Amino acid sequence: MRDQSGLGWRIARLIAAQGPISVAQFMAIALHDPRAGYYATRDPLGADFITAPEVTQAFGELVGLWCAQAWHDQGKPSPARLVELGPGRGTLMEDALRAARRMPDFLDSIEVVLVETSPVLAAMQKERLRSCGLAVRWAQSMADIEHDRPHFTIANEFLDALPIRQFVMTEKGWSERMVGVDESGRLAFVLSPAAWNFAVPPERGHATTGAVYEFSAAANALVEDIAGGIARTDGAALFIDYGYAGAGFGETLQAVGDNRYQDILAEPGEVDLSAHVDFGAVAHAARAGGARPYGPLAQGEFLEALGIRVREASLASDGGASPAIDRLTKPDGMGTLFKALAVLPPSAPSPPGFA
């Protein structure tokens, strides 16, 4: 490696010592290494991507009202928690709490918990929510939050950043794609020599040679755990992310830096790594946890059902339409690529937007 002090060089040394690592392990190091990980050392929003809460406050407001309505429909449990995974700059939570003032009983009943691993972003969230008027605390993971009451959980563009493993269909069967080093010492993709004998979900269809199957054990375990808590103590979860559901195979792992696609392995720690969410697997994990999934719905359909155009028109000084709404709802923007999936107790009423 060129830089013998950078994260790429350290990963190469790890591989030299123990052999190739999985794509999942590479992602975890590149994103969360405490000294040089992408999320651990910077504010990525705006520089490399923008999320829906940063496009319009109407998005976060509708999410907040969605949580309050789900709480109301389940008999107003108290105490409860409002949890956000990967809160970014705190924009969504700020907007959600402002809108939820329309249902003061909800705010009186909840503790707010933000799950954040980045010290840079956590500092921004604390500043933004300093005057929200509610008790707010931070956690490193869901495992750090006791599940002694109903949780109403928000995860917007969170699952896409969780590590994935990749498998490639070869003449011998499925082989795992790993990260190794080439003859020059640079990081390179390699295939494990041994074939993996596992069952791919039948709805994916037949895999031909060269097909890529992506699997996120981290995302599925997280959703199953959240669903288990919902099944035991009530509550709800709303996952919004870019992803897919259904048949087929394909590679979706990508690196983004300086607002353009980058080489995945060239500069670990300097680019954002993510993969499209397998919402079919997410729904399956929710059922495995004992809860009921709703969706996935296209984000545009979900937001339209919640009345985002009416809300945005009331925010506009001239009462007219906003290009921001088209960006979030239209197929040529985020409207179809992004999906929404809700998880609720089996006995709960259908949540807003999914009826």
Query: What percentage of residues in the chain have a pLDDT greater than 90?
Result: 81
Band of the pLDDT at 5, cuts 50, 70, 90? low
| Predicted TM-score (pTM) of this structure | 0.94
Domains located in the chain, CATH noted? 40-162+226-239+255-276+290-344 (3.40.50.150)
Over residues 310-324, the pLDDT tens digits come to: 887 777 664 555 788
Angle subtended at Cα 241 by Cα 238 and Cα 245, rounded to the nearest 5 degrees? 95
Over residues 52-92, the pLDDT tens digits come to: 999 999 999 999 999 999 999 999 999 999 999 999 999 99
- Kindly state the average pLDDT of the residues 6-27: 96
pLDDT at 49: 66
Whether residue 2 is predicted with pLDDT greater than 70 in this model: the reply is: no
Mean pLDDT of the chain: 92
| CA distance linking residue 34 with residue 117, whole number of Å | 10
C-beta of residue 219 within 8 angstroms of C-beta of residue 159: yes
C-beta of residue 145 within 8 angstroms of C-beta of residue 137: no
Angle subtended at Cα 53 by Cα 100 and Cα 268, rounded to the nearest 5 degrees? 135
In this structure, what token pair is assigned to residue 350?
Answer: 């259908």
Over residues 323-340, the pLDDT tens digits come to: 888 999 999 999 999 999
Strand partners, 342: 238, 294
Rounded to the nearest 10 degrees, the angle between the axes of helix 57-73 and helix 308-315 is 130
Whether residue 1 is predicted with pLDDT greater than 50 in this model: the reply is: no
pLDDT at 320: 53
C-beta of residue 154 within 8 angstroms of C-beta of residue 92: yes
Whether residue 43 is predicted with pLDDT greater than 90 in this model: the reply is: no
- Give the 3-state secondary structure percentages of the chain, helix then strand then coil, rounded to 5: 35, 25, 40
